[in-house]
């Protein structure tokens, strides 16, 4: 396991990549990481909990969670972004014990926006907030994947 320092510092950090058969060792950083599988399937391990992502699924990995990827046959899109892009979401979830979520994901133009280096910060933030909103429906509380999925109503009542 290693710390990715370049993905852990600075404001307005945004990195995207498209992969075939992504395999990456355990690592940690202070940024969010969104991954979606566009073809095939892959395994994502967060701490030691294994999540299998099929095509049409996405996952939002919270900052400072150790994670890694294993894949034999897949295509995927990955985006690492600093919390300041989604500061309200970050502030609402950072101390709430939220863990990573797997959710149904259909690209509605977010991937093109995130890849476009000339996209305005408002378009980028809107794309990232849509992803966070989809993930929020499936976030759980608990140690590394345990706990029940939260609804917006149950989260508000427990905050």
In a 13 Å sphere around the CA of 20, the CA atoms on its Cβ side amount to: 0
**Could you tell me the CA-to-CA distances from 129 to 21, 66, 81, 136 in Å, in that order?**
27, 23, 11, 10
- As a whole number, mean pLDDT of residues 17-45 equals 94
Domain hosting residue 45, numbered range: 2-83+91-152
Asked whether residue 159 is assigned to any structural domain, the reply reads: no
State yes or no: pLDDT of 100 exceeds 90. no
Q: What angle do CA 118, 19, 138 make, to 5 degrees?
A: 85
Instruction: Pick from 68-77, 95-104, 135-144 the range whose average pLDDT is largest.
Output: 68-77
* CATH code of the domain covering residue 126: 2.60.120.280
Q: Is the dihedral of CA 94, 10, 125, 87 positive or negative?
A: positive
Decide if 158 is inside a domain: no
Q: Is residue 157 part of a domain?
A: no
Find the mean pLDDT for residues 100-105: 86
Looking at residue 156, what is its pLDDT?
Answer: 41
Contact between 41 and 110 under an 8 Å Cβ cutoff? The reply is no
The average pLDDT across 66-83 equals 95
Count of beta carbons in the 10 Å neighbourhood of residue 57: 18
Task: Between 7 and 54, name the one with better pLDDT.
Answer: 54
The pLDDT score that the predictor gives to residue 141 is 59
Query: CA 105 to CA 135: how far, in whole Å?
Result: 9
Compute the distance between CA of residue 45 and CA of residue 51 in angstroms, rounded to an integer. 6
Report d(CA 19, CA 83) in Å as an integer: 23
- Of 6, 11, 4, 8, the C-alpha closest to 30 is 8
**Integer Cα distance of 90 and 63 in angstroms:** 9
Domain count, the chain: 1
Cα–Cα distance, 148 to 92 (Å, whole number): 18
| pLDDT tens-digit series, residues 45-65 | 998 889 999 999 999 999 988
Q: Which H or E run contains 94? A: none
pLDDT score, position 94: 81
């Amino acid at each position: 396991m290693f710390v990715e320092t370049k993905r852990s510092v600075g404001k307005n950090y945004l990195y995207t990549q498209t992969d075939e058969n992504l395999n990456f060792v355990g690592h940690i950083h202070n940024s969010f990481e969104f991954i979606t599988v566009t073809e095939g399937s892959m395994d994502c391990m967060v701490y030691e909990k294994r999540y299998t992502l099929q095509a049409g699924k996405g996952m939002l990995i919270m900052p400072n969670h150790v994670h890694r990827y294993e894949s034999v046959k897949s295509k995927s899109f990955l985006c690492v972004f600093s919390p300041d892009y989604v500061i309200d979401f970050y502030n609402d979830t950072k101390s709430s014990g939220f863990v990573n979520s797997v959710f149904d994901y259909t690209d509605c133009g977010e991937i093109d926006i995130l890849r476009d280096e000339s996209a305005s910060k408002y378009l980028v933030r809107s794309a990232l907030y849509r992803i966070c909103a989809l993930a929020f429906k499936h976030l759980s509380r608990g140690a590394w994947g345990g706990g029940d999925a939260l609804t917006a109503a149950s989260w508000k009542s427990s905050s």
